[in-house]
Copies of this chain bind each other. A is one copy, B any other.
């Protein structure tokens, strides 16, 4: 959770929860902390949490009810989380590949650059 990463806070929260669901660290039916709780834990404004929740609901990963709280959706949450992850990565890769093509980089160079990027960022685990 880094406010000055240039990367929006609410998206960082979305990613973390989304990943937790995809990996199984959060299970379908499980209740999430309240907006206030998360806000005070992460030292951000409740509105920012709310926005992240709205996004997660829109993605089909979380269900929220006013006066009750928020839960990981019982049906399809895990699948939705995986699908969302795949879509996000696919579109990021598409952007990179399109740029490569626009700049006149050929398939082989592109492949090498990709391999090297993977080596760099997937060093130990994953």
Contact = CB atoms under 8 A, between A and B. Distances in A.
Copy count, this protein chain: 2
A79 interface: no
Contacts of A42: none
A19 B103 contact: yes
A107 B102 CA distance: 26
A1 interface: no
Contact of A106 (B94, B102, B126): B126
A104 B121 contact: no
The interface centre, meaning the residue of A85, A94, A100, A111 with most chain B CB atoms within 10 A of its CB, is A100
**From DSSP, what is the main secondary structure of chain A's interface residues?**
helix
B90 A117 contact: yes
Contact of A105 (B86, B103, B104): B86
Contacts of A85: 100, 103-105
Contacts of A121: 94, 97-98, 101
Interface in A76-126: 85-86, 88-90, 92-107, 109-111, 113-114, 116-118, 120-122, 126
Which 8 A-B residue pairs are closest in the complex by CB-CB distance?
A92-B96, A85-B103, A93-B117, A89-B100, A19-B104, A97-B117, A97-B121, A93-B96
